[in-house]
């Protein structure tokens, strides 16, 4: 008999990214992990940038990710509640996965009850300090008028542009610059958590993605702040069973 008593959190898989050498192998690794949680998952939280680029037209959806979506459907059919928080790469999820699989889509951070405790969950790009240019870009991505204008451009151009931007964003900075930026962002998230926790005593823990590092940090007020890492190299995820909140690495 299945004993569903665990919540799983993972983010930043970047399925379909140009810089991933073997797309089938990458997708299969993620599917293999999802198969291992079939026996005890009660809830699954996908915390953004699951797909490196996705634009969901009214009558057409992008090709690919069949095995991944199939495994999500298998979990949903088995009774697992699946929540997808969009990130900056998969922001244009609309109603396809909601209607076909039953996934609940969130476009911004939410405080949700998870196994009896309140969690604030966010991809991490809509809380704390963000540079003005990034805030403007995020506004454009979420703006309905901008979306209508964007979808009027043929996909052969938008897909190429999106993947070029994604690859350039990953390779245009030195590792030293990346590391410095990550540490600054972690510090900004800590500041946000401390301020939010001071005003919301009912929040037990904070879950973020986006930064591609796995961190488990205790902040003021003994609150836990989890940054989930990524699935290109680290394959890290978090679990909560009502008592233990832990980061793990999938041994693939």
Give the rounded distance of the alpha carbon of 151 from its chain centre: 23
- C-alpha 27/C-alpha 214 separation (Å) is 20
pTM of the model: 0.92
Helix, strand, coil tally for the chain in percent (to 5): 35, 25, 40
Residue range 6-249, CATH number: 3.60.21.10
pLDDT digits (tens, 9 = 90+) for 105-122: 999 999 999 999 999 999
Tell me the torsion sign for CA atoms 51, 52, 57, 59.
Answer: negative
Tell me the torsion sign for CA atoms 41, 190, 178, 180.
Answer: negative
Which residue, among 132, 127, 126, 116, has the nearest Cα to 87 in the 3D structure? Answer: 126
Q: How confident is the model at residue 1 (pLDDT cuts 50, 70, 90)?
A: very low
Report the pLDDT averaged over residues 178-198. 89
What pLDDT is attached to residue 174? 66
Number of CB atoms found within 10 A of residue 2's CB: 11
Give the chain's mean pLDDT. Answer: 90
Percent of the chain past pLDDT 90, that is, above it, reads: 65
pLDDT digits (tens, 9 = 90+) for 4-41: 799 999 999 999 988 899 999 999 999 999 999 999 99
According to DSSP H, which parts of the chain are helical? Answer: 23-36, 66-77, 96-100, 132-142, 144-151, 155-171, 175-199
- C-alpha 226/C-alpha 17 separation (Å) is 25
């Amino acid at each position: 008999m299945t004993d569903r008593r665990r919540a799983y959190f993972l983010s930043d898989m970047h399925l379909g990214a140009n810089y991933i050498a073997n797309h089938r192998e990458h997708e299969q690794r993620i599917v293999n992990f999802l198969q291992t949680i079939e026996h005890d998952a009660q809830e699954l939280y996908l915390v953004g940038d699951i797909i490196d680029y996705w634009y969901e037209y009214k009558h057409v959806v992008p090709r690919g990710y069949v095995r991944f979506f199939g495994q999500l459907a298998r979990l949903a059919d088995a009774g697992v509640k699946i929540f997808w928080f969009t990130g900056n790469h998969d922001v244009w999820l609309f109603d396809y996965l909601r209607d076909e699989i039953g996934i609940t889509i969130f476009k911004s951070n939410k405080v949700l009850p998870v196994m009896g405790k309140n969690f604030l969950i966010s991809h991490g790009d809509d809380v704390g300090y963000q540079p003005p240019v990034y805030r403007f870009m995020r506004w454009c991505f979420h703006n309905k008028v901008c979306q209508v204008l964007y979808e009027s451009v043929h996909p052969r151009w938008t897909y190429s542009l999106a993947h070029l931007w994604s690859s350039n964003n990953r390779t245009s900075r030195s590792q030293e610059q990346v590391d410095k930026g990550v540490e600054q962002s972690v510090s900004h998230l800590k500041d946000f958590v401390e301020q939010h926790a001071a005003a919301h005593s009912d929040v037990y823990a904070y879950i973020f993605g986006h930064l591609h590092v796995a961190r488990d940090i205790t902040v003021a007020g003994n609150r836990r702040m989890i940054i989930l890492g990524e699935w290109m190299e680290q394959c890290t995820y978090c679990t909560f069973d009502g008592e233990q909140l832990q980061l793990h690495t999938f041994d693939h």
